[in-house]
Amino acid sequence: MELRRFGPTEHMVPVIGQGTWHMEDDDPDRAIAALRLGLDLGMTHIDTAELYGSGSVEELVGEAIAERRDEVFLVSKVLPENASRAGTLAACEKSLARLGTDRLDSYLLHWSGEHPLEDTIAAFEQLEREGKILSWGLSNFDVPDLEIARRIAGPGRIACNQVLYHLQERAIEHAVIPWCEKHGVAVTAYSPFGFGRFPGPRSKGGRILATIAAAHGATLRQVALRFLLRRPSVFAIPKASQPEHAAENAGAGDLRLTREELARIDDAFPRGPRPRELPVM
Ligand SMILES: NC(=O)c1ccc[n+]([C@@H]2O[C@H](COP(=O)([O-])OP(=O)(O)OC[C@H]3O[C@@H](n4cnc5c(N)ncnc54)[C@H](OP(=O)(O)O)[C@@H]3O)[C@@H](O)[C@H]2O)c1
């Protein structure tokens, strides 16, 4: 499994991790087995959130990683409505208790909300000083909000921006990825399979993925993940509650595509126009 430095942190993190959204709806034994198999196969970045199953997914993750905490790069997220200074501190304590751990490797603001970002960041910095989190980051932030966060926190403080990124949704390539690379912020791609909208093998794009996959003895999903990882700042966190899915996803960790193959995928799934952005204030 290929490892990359996670933004400005000292952590080397696998390029493929494991998401957990909606795992409360899955068979818990299968989901725990999938997460543990994922760890065995090197997908040690586990992403969760207080939102998921109203905390029950953090409990499930806690069960999956019990006895193995030190192997895991554990990430959770605070909901915007809880992200006041005191609310963030309290939410973190609850996440730690549900996860059965004394620290998070990274703690993210799930999306920006009504609480001043200064207060959320002050809480993140306090949690980091106290050793309850080892780094902090953001999620669903566009460039204007990233600029504001960087102005508040100073350089080298934002570990990552976790954002939507899959073959059919490449908007972050226009400005978010370049901004994150300029400022040394990791980009974590969520919903890398489009959450159920993965291209069918007989669609035009699916046929191109299939041809490339066949050349590598790989699968369409492995090729898709590898395309997303072609920039050095990017990590992906597919969610799998089936162990065989976890095994397939881990197989993308060492796949390498040629420039020509990347260009064919780029052509088959065009990134589309630049989204309209508000000016930076
Ligand atoms: N920050 C945010 O706002 C945000 C938003 C959305 C997601 N996320 C994070 O990103 C993670 C991933 O995104 P996601 O859950 O939305 O979608 P996703 O990873 O794109 O897709 C998950 C779906 O793909 C299936 N799947 C996984 N591997 C497969 C394989 N090898 N073959 C066939 N099907 C496969 C899963 O099935 P099974 O589960 O049945 O295996 C599940 O139904 C989330 O779980 C969450 O941790 C963050």
pLDDT digits (tens, 9 = 90+) for 245-271: 999 999 999 899 999 999 999 999 998
> In which band, very low, low, confident or very high, does the pLDDT at 280 lie, cut at 50, 70 and 90?
very low
Residue 279 reports pLDDT greater than 70: no
Is the CB of 7 within 6 Å of ligand 1? no
What is the spatial distance between Cα 216 and Cα 219, in angstroms, rounded to a whole number? 8
> How far is ligand 1, taken at its centre, from the CA of residue 240, in Å?
6
pLDDT at residue 281, rounded to an integer: 39
> In which band, very low, low, confident or very high, does the pLDDT at 274 lie, cut at 50, 70 and 90?
confident
pLDDT at residue 276, rounded to an integer: 64
What is the spatial distance between Cα 214 and Cα 149, in angstroms, rounded to a whole number? 44
pLDDT in tens, 109-146: 999 999 999 999 999 999 999 999 999 999 999 999 99
Q: Which residue has the tokens 């080397």?
A: 12
> How far is ligand 1, taken at its centre, from the CA of residue 25, in Å?
13
Report pTM. Answer: 0.95
Is the CB of 76 within 6 Å of ligand 1? no
> How far is ligand 1, taken at its centre, from the CA of residue 19, in Å?
6
Positions annotated as catalytic residues are: 52
For residue 23, give Cα distances in angstroms to 239, 240, 280.
9, 9, 37
Query: What is 141-197 written as a DSSP string?
Result: --HHHHHHHHHHH-TT-EEEEEEE-BTTB-GGGTTHHHHHHHTT-EEEEESTT-SS-
pLDDT in tens, 12-28: 999 999 999 999 999 99
What is the spatial distance between Cα 38 and Cα 46, in angstroms, rounded to a whole number? 9
Q: Which atom in ligand 1 lies closest to the alpha carbon of residue 192?
A: 20
Report helix, strand or coil for 72.
Answer: coil
> How far is ligand 1, taken at its centre, from the CA of residue 42, in Å?
18
Please, what is the average pLDDT of the chain? Answer: 95
Report helix, strand or coil for 274.
Answer: coil
Is the CB of 198 within 6 Å of ligand 1? no
Question: Considering only CA atoms, which of 155, 158, 175, 94 is closest in space to residue 120?
Answer: 158
Residue 277 reports pLDDT greater than 70: no
pLDDT in tens, 199-227: 988 899 999 999 999 999 999 999 999 99
Is the CB of 30 within 6 Å of ligand 1? no
pLDDT at residue 196, rounded to an integer: 78
What is the spatial distance between Cα 97 and Cα 102, in angstroms, rounded to a whole number? 8
Tokens of 65: 């990683």
